[in-house]
Structure 1
Amino acid sequence: MLLKLALVGASVLVSSLAARRFGHAVGGTIAGLPMIAGTIMGFVLLQETPAQASAIAVATLSCLPATVAHVICFAWCATRWRWGAALAAANAVFLSLGAALLALRLPPAAACAAALLSTALGALALPRLPLSAAAVTIPRVELACRVVAAMAMGWLVMRTAGVAPASVSGLLLAVPITGNVLPSFTLPRYGAAATAALLAGFLRGLLGFASFFVALRAGLGWASPAAAYGLAWLTALLAALALRRDRGAAAAGAASSRLDPRQ
């Protein structure tokens, strides 16, 4: 348990340090990757059968549109409310929509498609607030508070994930731990624009999250758990690299447009 909690804390720390060095959007993208849920899933694979692990992966994918809705809700609430109200509203949306999605019992193929589509299109529903990309000043005491808060949430998830029924475990693994912790600290200190940028990056990272569980579920059908787990991480990393390349190309195109007097 201590090792798992340490990994949760490390993921939040890495995301926060990335935000401090490269800006809120980059920190959000790293936070959206399956660093926490993927690690927890590795322990689940050690303790459960491949069939049970596959069922948890499908349940997690079924709930991922609810995670996207959580992000969108938090971003819009951040433009009007304080962090506590935004956090409560976003989690109410997540839990209600997640429970409804689980009740639908989507076929695995539909769950995979819904997860990938929602993460790819979710950014279109976010508020557009101007914010220049820049390094962020995050005091050490705030970094420590972020890590402690994430570890507390991670402890609650780990107490039931892999022990509860597959549907409940999937819902818990889809809980956006970093998606709750990071914007709750970002909004009061840096404002709504920074929070929206963070959550936009988080949605980009969620595409890697979805890719991880889609690849894991597919891999468990024909490969050993270890091979399927490795394939899942490789897929998530490739998705993250593709997102970084696309974002870099878009930034370069925008810069070229500003410099070209004919445009």
Structure 2
Amino acid sequence: MLLLKLLLVPALIWLITAAARKWGPGVAGALAGFPVITGSILLILTLEQGPDFTRQAALASALGAAANMVFGIAYSWAALRWRWPPCLALGVAGYALAVAASPSAAAAPWLAAWLALAFLPLAGRLFPAPPAAAAQGAPREAGMAPRMLAGALLVLIITSLSQRLGPALSGALAVFPVLASVLGAFTHASAGPAAAIRLLRGMVRGFYAFIAFCLALAGSLGQLPAASAFLLALSLAALVQLAVMWLGRHRH
């Protein structure tokens, strides 16, 4: 189990970074919104804590996606004026405030998850337009090791503390913006604020698939074997991701 925690998420982060170098920050953002880290954490929670625990964590993760988008919005507006360190601090502060405001939704977790899905179209409109004169470019390979290390550490922390945290907080923290913060800050430093804003705004498209994954997993765990539930959720997420990316290309 420890080997799974240490290797699975870093390998997935490596694949997303390779895609970013080939297709650019917008596509990288959409892929980063896909349930890579969170899906891995929920799988490990299922193996360690059982399906009932993970069902609740999956719904909390869907709500946590809204907090993740608040991070991206706050970071992007800050990026219009500052370099990445204060932007990262303001983004994390926005995420923390959104998480702090979410416990009131715990009484109706399914409703909260659907409200998070409804927030997505609005979230996409809350990002600033990227500055036209900013430099563009792909993230450099030097950022690979920090990304992979951050992903592995998050999985270790969340899964190790899950019994103390409970399913709701485990699910919310599983959506901590590791990919958004690491990829966003590195892209900001190496390619400028415009590329960082495009990447973070692109993550909104990925969160449609993310929330679809969480809802499908919460609905199917306990009704199906765990492996079948995860396969169903991932298949639905992949279909939603393909549909959203296709629609995005044909609108421009």
User: Does the aligned pair in 2 maintain the 1:163–1:169 contact within 8 Å?
Assistant: no
- Kept in 1, the 8 Å contact 2:139–2:190? The answer is no
Alignment correspondent of 2:196: 195
Equivalent position SS for 1:160: helix
Q: Which residue of structure 2 aligns with residue 242 of structure 1?
A: 243
Aligned-partner SS, 1:165:
helix
> Are the equivalent residues in 2 in contact too, given 1:71–1:90 (CA < 8 A)?
yes
Give the AA of the match of 2:69.
V
* Alignment correspondent of 2:182: 181
Indicate the larger mover: 101-110 or 91-100: 101-110
Q: Contact conserved, 1:45 with 1:53, CA < 8 A, in 2? A: yes
TM-score scaled to structure 2, two decimals? Answer: 0.90
Matches within 5 A, 1:147-158: 147-158=148-159
CA deviation string 1:155-196 (max 9, x = no partner): 333332465211220121121210111001011111111011
SS at match of 2:165: coil
Equivalent residue number for residue 38 of structure 2: 37
Which amino acid letter does the alignment assign opposite residue 48 of structure 2?
Answer: Q
Aligned 8 A contact 2:139 2:191 in 1: no
Q: Which residue of 2 aligns with 1:50?
A: 51
- When residues 78 and 101 of structure 1 are mapped into structure 2, their CA distance, relative to the original with a 3 A threshold, is same
Paired AA for residue 10 in structure 1: A
What's the CA shift for 1:238? 0.7
Look up the equivalent residue of 1:12 and give its one-letter code: I
Residue 171 of structure 1 is matched in structure 2 by: 172
Runs of 5+ consecutive residues of structure 2 not aligned to the other structure: none
Aligned to 1:227: 228
Question: Distance between the aligned counterparts of 1:177 and 1:22, measured in 2?
Answer: 21
Q: Which amino acid aligns with 2:111?
A: A
Q: Is the 8 A contact 1:21 1:136 kept in 2?
A: no
Decide which moves more: 23-32 or 6-15: 6-15
Letter aligned with residue 84 of structure 1: P
Structure 2: distance between partners of 1:146 and 1:98: 23
Q: Is the 8 A contact 2:37 2:151 kept in 1?
A: no
Secondary structure in 1 aligned to 2:219?
helix
Q: TM-score, normalised by structure 1?
A: 0.87
1:3 corresponds in structure 2 to 4
**In the alignment, is the contact (CA less than 8 A) between 2:138 and 2:191 conserved in 1?**
no
Q: CA deviation at 1:137?
A: 4.0
- Tell which deviates more after alignment, 149-158 or 16-25: 149-158
The residue identity in structure 1 corresponding to 2:66 is P
Determine the C-alpha separation between the residues in 1 that align with 2:66 and 2:139: 30
Q: Which residue of 1 aligns with 2:99?
A: 98
Quote how far apart the aligned CAs of 1:102 are: 1.8
Distance 1:208 1:187 in 2: 25
Q: Residues 225 and 242 of structure 1: is their aligned pair in 2 closer, same or farther, counting only changes over 3 Å?
A: same
Cα distance in 2 for residues equivalent to 1:235 and 1:121: 23
How do 1:26-175 and structure 2 match up within 5 A?
26-129=27-130, 136-161=137-162, 164-175=165-176
Tell me how far apart the structure 2 counterparts of residues 10 and 114 of structure 1 sit (CA, whole Å): 32
C-alpha deviations, 1:122-153, integer Å up to 9, x for none? 11111112569xx9444332323332343334
8 Å contact from structure 2 (residues 205, 245) kept in 1: no
Cα deviation per residue 1:178-237 (whole Å; 9 max; x = unaligned)? 011100101111111101100111111111111100111111253232222111111110
Contact in 2 for aligned 1:69/1:93 (Cα 8 Å): yes
| Compared CA separation, residues 222 and 2, structure 1 to 2 (3 A) | closer
Q: Give, in angstroms, the shift of residue 72 of structure 1.
A: 0.8
Number of aligned residues? 250
Quote the sequence identity (%): 31
Do the aligned partners of 2:62 and 2:214 also contact (CA within 8 Å) in 1?
A: yes
SS of residue paired to 2:128: coil
